[in-house]
Structure 1
Amino acid sequence: MKTLVVYYSFDGNTRLIAQAIAETAGADVLELRTQDQPQSKGFSKYFWGGRQVFMKVRPALLPLDKDPAVYDLLFIGTPVWAFAPAPAMSSFLEKTAIRGKRVAVFCCSGGGPGRTLGRMAEILAADNVIAGRMHFVEPRRSPQVSADKARQWAKEVLVL
């Protein structure tokens, strides 16, 4: 089964999980990058990110170096921003035709997932099979534990 891990990461938490999943699944990796990559740090990144979500900003993405259409299974991951997917992920989901795939969605946050997993699944469910959902809390605080959890989840999704 040809597998792709698609993710956006601002602070590296989602990247850590995406890499663990990709290693376990033998998957290709597609990291989403915006044309104007934000540089906010500290508390200002939360204000900036929340504003982006509430204003429904959809940043332009750099060209994708992988075509999701040629894969059978997609793992799609995002950080949680203001209880929702990061704007870069929303851009990807709204502008990329994903049809006839098995899709597993995941998110990373410092608290709960909010509406993130539900929104992602809702967008994707009409034309795809949702094979799994998973939330990771602050993966970089316990990288080994988080990576192990990601590997185990990836194995479960692969056998479904």
Structure 2
Amino acid sequence: MSKTGNILIAYFSYSGNSKKVAELIQEKTGGDIFRIETINPYPTDYNAVVDQAKREQEYNYRPKLAAQVDDMGAYDVVFVGYPNWWITMPMAVFTFLEEYDLSGKMVIPFCTHRGTGLGGSVDDIAELCPNSTIIEGLEIIDDEEIGQQIDIWLDRISISNRLSYK
């Protein structure tokens, strides 16, 4: 994978799994990292988080974010990471993608999950970023050999190889 161009790795992580993947991608690409966090943190109780995530999705709610990317215009490539919540991204990631104009940028999803893969998240990203090139995403199901899975994926999607989902 080429380390040319300006790369941002933006991620939302509840349990730390997506954060771990984001940090490995940063280590391997040399990009900048940005954590997508909500102003009001999610509950620590798993069942309460599940209930809240489901309600947010049902009502198409956009939680407010705690921080913003200083200069999104400086990036050509934006990796977007998240856990799969209810077959798509957490609503905080929807908020993030709607706050920036990612036109002309490569947007590369990565997702942690427990058996649901990327779900409908790639379609949702394509809808939110209609003027971006959406590159093949990575889905991580468990903690085994994450580094190796990321290496194989990064080799497959080399930045010059623009596999678009449009």
* Both structures adopt the same fold (TM-score exceeding 0.5): yes
Q: How many equivalent pairs are there?
A: 155
Q: Normalising by the residue count of structure 1, what TM-score does the alignment of the two structures yield? A: 0.87
Distance 2:20 2:88 in 1: 20
Q: Which residue of 1 aligns with 2:125?
A: 120
Ranges in structure 2 where 5+ consecutive residues have no aligned partner: 162-166
| Structure 1 residues 131 and 116: CA distance shift in structure 2, 3 A | closer
Identical-pair percentage: 24
**Equivalent position of 1:34 in the other structure:** 38
Q: How do residues 55-74 of structure 1 correspond to structure 2 at under 5 angstroms?
A: 55-74=59-78
Task: From the superposition, tell whether residues 100 and 18 of structure 1 become closer, same or farther in structure 2 (CA, over 3 Å).
Answer: same
**Counterpart residue type for residue 100 of structure 1:** G
1:17 aligns with 2:25: no
Q: Which has the higher helix share?
A: 1
After superposition, what is the alpha-carbon deviation per residue over 1:18-70, rounded to whole angstroms, capped at 9, x for unaligned?
Answer: 11111111110011111001123233322222222122111000122442221
RMSD: 1.7
**CA–CA distance in 2 between the matches of 1:155 and 1:68?**
25
- Any idea what SS the aligned residue of 1:23 has? helix
Query: 1:146 corresponds to which letter in structure 2?
Result: I
- The residue number in structure 2 matching 1:153 is 153
- Counterpart for residue 91 of structure 1: 95
Unaligned runs of 5+ in 1: none
Whole-angstrom CA distance in 2 between matches of 1:156 and 1:68: 25
Residue 100 (1) aligns with residue 108 (2) = no
Asked if the contact 1:69–1:99 (Cα under 8 Å) also holds between the matched residues in 2, the reply is: no
Larger relative contact order, structure 1 or 2 (CA cutoff 8 Å, min sep 6): 1
Which amino acid in 1 is paired with 2:146?
S
TM-score, normalised by the number of residues in structure 2: 0.85
- CA distance, structure 2, for counterparts of residue 148 and residue 21 of structure 1: 11
Give every structure 1 segment of 4 or more consecutive aligned residues whose post-TM-superposition deviation is greater than 6 Å: none
Q: Deviations over 1:123-157 (max 9, x none)?
A: 22x211122222111x4x43xx1232123322333
3-state SS, counterpart of residue 135 of structure 2: strand
